[in-house]
Structure 1
Amino acid sequence: MSLSQFKNIGFKPSFTLLWVMCVSLHIFTVRMLGFSLEISVIDALIFYCIISGDCWLISRSLNYYLPEGGKFYVIIGWSFTLAVISNIFIYFISPLLNIGDGDAYRQYLASSFFIKLAFSFLLIGWVSLICAFWYNKQEEERLEERRRESEKLNKEAELASLREKLQPHFLFNSLNSISSLTFSQPEQARKMIQQLSDFLRGTIKKDDQLTSLSQEIQHLQLYLDIEKVRFGSRLNTSINCPCEVEELYVPNMILQPIVENAIKFGLYNTLGEIEISVRCVLENDLLVIETRNPFDPENCPPKKGLGFGLENVKRRLSLLYNRNNLLKTDTDNNIFITRIFIPL
């Protein structure tokens, strides 16, 4: 059920002013026909009290039932029917009140019947159409609100799904590494299990979509500690995150898949040492996080698309910020560059 426009603060003064003007005009017209002020006022009050009741009735009716598909001719039909019934009622009830000279007043009622009918039809029709547009507008707003709520729930569900896909992807890789270290380096395997436990515990606690950059960097460092157990001195990292950007908010676990991608294409096809760098800077109204890693163009030929990790990041950024240009990749000689842009 919609909120009646008669309860709208902005509508009340306009409606009241219109009614006062109509009543005043009615009294003035009847006075010009030679009737006393008392008769003119009583006649006006009878007419407009009944018409006001008609307007209230049709307003309440439209509140519960609004013709679909813009069938305003139905509302016009209702308005005309109410106007006819009301004027017939006024025509027969007014003489029973013994207002002034009975014969003169009856003659006035007869001669003004069709004029009052037309005027009351216009008034009731005008109010009916306003009510119809008002309730229709409120219904459209409710539908739009439900649509936005539905989109929000779908977006949250997809974001949660994307995050859940990231965890098994990383977990499988880590468990494979632990398995390979169990016999050759059992101490390293135990250390990696503890680090993996700390990492996953932090991941489970992160239910919010956004977190501060400093917390995200700490979470990334836990991941890098695990990877350094796997790769030893071959993996070197540098993270440059100025103090002024540490408290800015970024999506949860947005850096881990990017760095995992950098390790995959930087280390898997080489036996030497590499360095992966992460740099955070402010550019206009954007927080730019740039990741650089070396790659061998012969062993890692260009592929179509971004791969699972980067596609996941790109989709999450698109859902959170409604933009599709927040992740970009580039190459500079044998350096692969990934940039993400976080709107502030």
Structure 2
Amino acid sequence: MHYGIDFPSALIDSIIFSALIIFGFMLLDNIFKFYTPTKGNKVLLVVFPLILSLLILYSGDFLIKWVVPSNFKNITFLNEAFVLRGFIILLIFLSYSLLLNLQGKLQEQVEAEEREAKLQKMTDEAELYQLRQQLQPHFLFNSLNSISSLVKSQPDKAREMVLQLSDFLRGTIQKEANNWIKVQEEIQFLTLFTDIEKVRFGHRLQLHFEKENGVDDLKLPHLMVQPLLENAIKHSLYGLTGEVAIHVHFKKKEKYLNVTIENPFDPKAGQAKGAGFGLEAVRRRLFLIFGRYDLLKTTASSQQFRVELLIPQIS
């Protein structure tokens, strides 16, 4: 349908209403940016666009009639297009309001998920810290009991054990801020630990650390192996007489650091008091760090117990 309106008048009409509609978009954007209608106020998604459409419709009509020279054809077009123009503007603003509301809901959902993820991370870190704090006193109490039993019978060994325990705890505290260390550093701490245990058990305890070439620079969470080694010592020395040999082997397995601990044990002798805490604590710690339960495996034959630990290498 052609109304015969001249091109300059049509151009002015388009510019005025386009500018007013853009202004309406900006206004709606600011409204819904700071206010998201709740479930009981969904009617505002219609009220705001309706009010804004009426304001823009009458404002645009006034501006056009004021700017464009009045003639019969122009007035006829404006009057006949008034209702249709208002309906189109209302549809545009309604659609934009719905999109803004949907965007706001999605943003709220994303922020809620981020807050939940941060809260879960804080919870995991707190639990991980608590586990580490439990593991250290667990070893400390055992060492103090051993020192206590040696004070009267073998004071020199008790003194030696105190010094070694001091070195071990000092190194542990210094590494607290750095959760990941190299294999070579972990072996040094394990050596300190085994020296303390050897003072307690003497010649009965034989520990062998073996590592393949190229694993020194691989990393693992600090003191991840120590609870497993402590558990192996308990299994070996409870119910067995004579010397026992425990083997700890470090090697690279694809994208993992593979640590295996093998120790002899007597299945008929039962379980040592407190044994099993280290395994469960390490399993839980692995889950908190990596989100996986398949990184720690145990196998037991007739007289041999084996623990296999996999540490993913984070680049």
TM-score bracket, normalised by the shorter chain, equals over 0.9
1: CA distance, partners of 2:179 / 2:82: 69
CA distance in 2, matches of 1:88, 1:36: 22
CA contact 2:12–2:64 (8 Å) conserved in 1: no
What are structure 2's unaligned runs of at least 5 residues? none
Alignment match of 2:192 (pick from 222, 236, 260)? 222
Could you list the structure 1 runs, at least 4 aligned residues long, displaced by more than 4 angstroms after superposition: 69-73
In structure 1, how many angstroms separate the alpha carbons of the residues matched to 2:201 and 2:40?
A: 70
Offset at 1:301? 5.8
- Counterpart residue number, 2:113: 144
Q: Offset at 1:71?
A: 6.8
User: Is the aligned partner of 1:185 residue 2:154?
Assistant: yes
Q: Which amino acid aligns with 2:213?
A: C
Greater Cα shift, 158-167 or 177-186: 177-186
Following the alignment from structure 1 to structure 2, what is the Cα–Cα distance between the partners of residues 169 and 281?
A: 28
Q: Using structure 1 for the length normalisation, give the TM-score.
A: 0.85
Q: How many residues align?
A: 312
* TM-aligned CA deviation for residue 268 of structure 1: 2.9
Question: Aligned partners of 2:77, 2:275: CA distance in 1, in Å?
Answer: 86
The amino acid that maps onto 2:221 is: P
Q: In structure 2, the residue corresponding to 1:272 is in which secondary structure?
A: coil
The separation in 2 between residues aligned to 1:65 and 1:236, in whole angstroms, is: 70
Match of residue 275 from structure 1: 245
Structure-2-length-normalised TM-score = 0.93
What is the match of residue 56 of structure 2?
86
Counterparts of 2:153 and 2:62, CA distance in 1: 108
Is the 1:265–1:300 contact (alpha carbons within 8 Å) kept by the matching residues of 2?
no
Contact 1:159–1:319 at 8 Å: present in 2 too?
yes
**2:65 counterpart residue number:** 95
2:292 corresponds to: 323
Deviations 1:221-258 (A, max 9, x none): 11000001111110001111123122111111111110
In 2, Cα distance between equivalents of 1:128 and 1:306: 63
Q: 1:190 to 1:63 in 2, by over 3 A?
A: same
Task: State the identity %.
Answer: 38
RMSD over aligned CA atoms reads: 2.1
Shift of 1:332: 2.0
Counterpart CA distance in 2 for 1:130 and 1:306 is 60
8 Å contact from structure 2 (residues 265, 304) kept in 1: yes
Q: Name the amino acid aligned to 2:251.
A: V
Q: Supply the distance in 2 between the matched residues of 1:92 and 1:56 (Cα, whole angstroms).
A: 21
Q: What secondary structure sits across from 1:243 in the alignment?
A: coil
1:48 aligns with 2:21: no
Distance 1:248 1:71, change over 3 A: farther
Alignment of 1:179-218 (within 5 A): 179-207=148-176, 208-218=178-188
Instruction: Find the counterpart in structure 2 of residue 157 from structure 1.
Output: 126
For residues 70 and 343 of structure 1, what CA distance do their matches in structure 2 show?
50
